Structure 1
């Protein structure tokens, strides 16, 4: 995720201070890793240094001064350029799940590898049920539904891959250990 670009996007709707940006991030990207306040302010500092945001003032609401930031024309151009770039599919398989399965098939006998895959599939199915229930909850916002659709689709792909791999365990094991 590009935190600077996400913060620029959140500033499109108007000036905000760091706390508002963190809250907006966590609301608009509800299933993403929450941003730390330090990360928000450090990123805002770099964006300001690069001329992509400017200070719009300071306010005090019963606490310390809060600097409000606004998007500059250069920031809007940088955001538009980032959004226009097609995100390339990942060139490599970078998944802990894939690495664990590959190693399990190398070091375990067929039955142990199959047991691990079945346990992993059960965990995925349970998580899929949880996410599906969350998606149909009355409190689910459109932000939640979009994030949940993304997570559910990825879990479904993992489940299909686990199913296919389970069908191939004996063949893979025989090939590796022959």
Structure 2
């Protein structure tokens, strides 16, 4: 929520629309409306947001919130932090990438840090897998495949962001008629 307020001041209903099932971020991360309003009521006393204006309309009044300096610092730090666990990548890394993209920010530093966090995980799981038998080996095979796939995903995004190869499932952009 703080990252959405980092983009621009908003009220809770606007945040709910962005994170709803059919919202631009809802396919990655859904935040139920009651959770949003509960969080807003906690973020203000914590000094991370402040009320900016109250909008009146056909429905209830909506308080528009803006980030404080502390709120901006928290968001900027959070957006730089890689996920510590492979199981968090689906929500944590993807939402950070989406938020960076929405703001037009370069994701490469985050991706490099994520790669650095994943490499030792892949190596450790591979080493442990070699020492196990039975279902423990099966479980570690799953973990190794998941972690290796995540590392390949990050490498692909890094290559694309650095002007390297593009994703195979993304069509090449057509050049405009003026050659640009």
| TM-score, scaled relative to structure 1 | 0.45
More helix by share: 1
Larger Rg: 1
| TM-score, scaled relative to structure 2 | 0.44
* RCO higher in structure (CA 8 A, sep ≥6): 1
